[in-house]
Amino acid sequence: MSITATEAISLPYVQAPETSENLEWADLITLDLSKFDRPGGKQELAHEFQRAIEEVGFFYVSNHGLNPSEISTQFALAKSTLSLPTSSKTPYRAALEAGDYNGWKPAGIRELIPGVKDNFEIYNIPKFIDEHKDRAHPEIVREHWSTIEQFSKKVHDGIVSKLLVIFAIALELDDEEWFLKRHRYESQSGDHLRYMKYYQRTEDENRRLGGVWLKGHSDMGSLTLLFRQPVAALQVLAKDGSWKWVRPQTDAITVNLADALHFMTNGYLKSSIHRVVAPPKDQANIDRLGVIYMVRIEDDTDLVPIEDSPVLQRLGLTGEKVLDGDGNAVKAGEWVRQRVIKNLGATSSAKGDNEETDVEIVKGVSIKYYE
């Protein structure tokens, strides 16, 4: 595929107004990345991060190095890409049923309850390495290829890399690059930039679904970075078992931990449980557009506890391993592939996704869904 090479540009985008309703917001920690390069700054951030993971595995990142116009441009591109007619997106339909989520996922391919299907659409752009250089994309993506590439790499190099160092320090690993060495950009893994849209629902659909658009779940990789999304719909499961709304913060990114880190720390780094629900009444008629960066550990990584972590040793979290039904360690790439097949492909059960509570992902290893 021939990609149009252009310089990075800025495109305008106006976000929807925030809700005026008084919601029960989650109290989340903010990590200020401007501290990272100061003397003792990484250690201070690691201490703050430890406080964050004691709660819900969600936190905010501020002073992340991206300017508002860079983020707005990605929202503009997300809107343009997902607004294309179906016929223009169909050639790029992701091979979800084979475990490949790169490309387009149409809305409405999975049934939540009988007669009501999912309402979210995705376009995933994989990281910019040789493995994906021949992948075809819609014209709007190709026209702005350099802009998208620069944004994706800036997120990885300037934000994700710092967070991975903070995590290693929090685990008291001798090598603060322990996670970095397993999240190399040039290596095979499923990192990608995601454009995502939840379409508004009718009152009848919301009533039948009990207001739940996507049941409580964990994410399948290492980290998820959500750029400011003012339409309230994301909720996180708190320690007391209640659901709290995640508030969009101006100039901050919302981050949550995911399965790989959970497996590799026996739950010390929690794969946070979250869900998507119907927005408040004053936002009920707005489609919820999102820009997300998904971080995946390298595909050939064994998802077993990090035995060299003094923190995990003290807590007794290094011995027990999650093994598949054949007694083998679960590989990161296979875990993601199977979760895509079972959670995103057009393979939902007859009773619907919202009726599922446990789904086996690989032999002998399941994930749980929450009401």
Q: What is the DSSP string of 255-270?
A: EEE-HHHHHHTTTSS-
Which residue's entry shows tokens 């290094």? 318
pLDDT tens digits in sequence order for the chain, 371 residues long? 445 445 778 999 999 999 999 999 999 999 999 999 999 999 999 999 998 887 788 999 999 999 999 999 999 999 999 999 999 999 999 999 999 999 999 999 999 999 999 999 999 999 999 999 999 999 999 999 999 999 999 999 999 999 999 999 999 999 999 999 999 999 999 999 999 999 999 999 999 999 999 999 999 999 999 999 999 999 999 999 999 999 999 899 999 999 999 999 999 998 999 999 999 999 999 999 999 999 999 999 999 999 999 999 999 999 888 888 889 999 999 999 999 999 888 766 667 888 888 889 998 999 998 98
Q: What is the DSSP string of 162-183?
A: HHHHHHHHHTT-S-TTTTGGGS
Q: Where are the beta strands (DSSP E) in 116-249?
A: 116-117, 120-126, 192-198, 212-217, 223-226, 234-237, 243-245
Q: Which of 46, 29, 312, 248 is nearest to 162 (CA)?
A: 46
Contacting residues for 79 by C-beta, under 8 A, at least 6 apart? 13, 289
Sheet holding 234-237, edge to edge: 212-217, 274-277, 234-237, 243-245
The domain made up of 30-368 has a fold known as Jelly Rolls (2.60.120)
Contacting residues for 299 by C-beta, under 8 A, at least 6 apart? 188, 189, 190, 331, 332, 333, 334, 336
Q: Residues in the chain, how many?
A: 371
Per-domain boundaries in the chain: 30-368
